[in-house]
Amino acid sequence: MAKRAERGKAYYMISAVSQKYDIHPQTLRLYEREGLLKPSRTDGNTRLYSEEDLEQLETILTLTRDLGVNLAGVEIILNMRRKIEQMQREVNEFMDYVKRELARGIDDWEQRLSTALVKSSPTDLVRHTPNTAGAESAQRSRLKTQK
């Protein structure tokens, strides 16, 4: 059975929804049987459609009426939308985590630098080695000109 209605939210009975969207109540029941809509129920088992259900219905009607998508296609599209939204939430959470860790890492680095015995920048700590390949090449060319 579907979720129960929450208090304080607007809900619509099947007759009001079918009239508002010019759709037969049996079609709404079909959408529920197919798993495309999940209206809540009263204690007397009457379907109640929330604002979210109506948004979902509008999407279904746009896909079927305007774009000619069949119900199997609608189901696939709605599932893909849910998965994309979930993945977007996960990416956002990961980005927040990375930002926090980077901020913490920078703070730690600044703290370590401020307490160092010898103050220097990271570039000062890198040893510079001369390019030996260039020197060898120059020496070979000098030898060739001397011969």
Q: What is the full per-residue pLDDT of the chain (147 aa) written as tens digits?
A: 445 566 778 999 999 999 999 999 999 999 999 999 999 999 999 999 999 999 999 999 999 999 999 999 999 999 999 999 999 999 999 999 988 888 887 777 777 767 766 666 666 656 666 665 556 666 666 656 565
Q: What DSSP state is assigned to residue 47?
A: E
| Token code pair at residue 112 | 């370590």
How many other CB atoms are found less than 10 A from the CB of residue 41?
15
Which residue type, as a one-letter code, is found at position 55? E
Which pTM does this prediction carry? Answer: 0.63
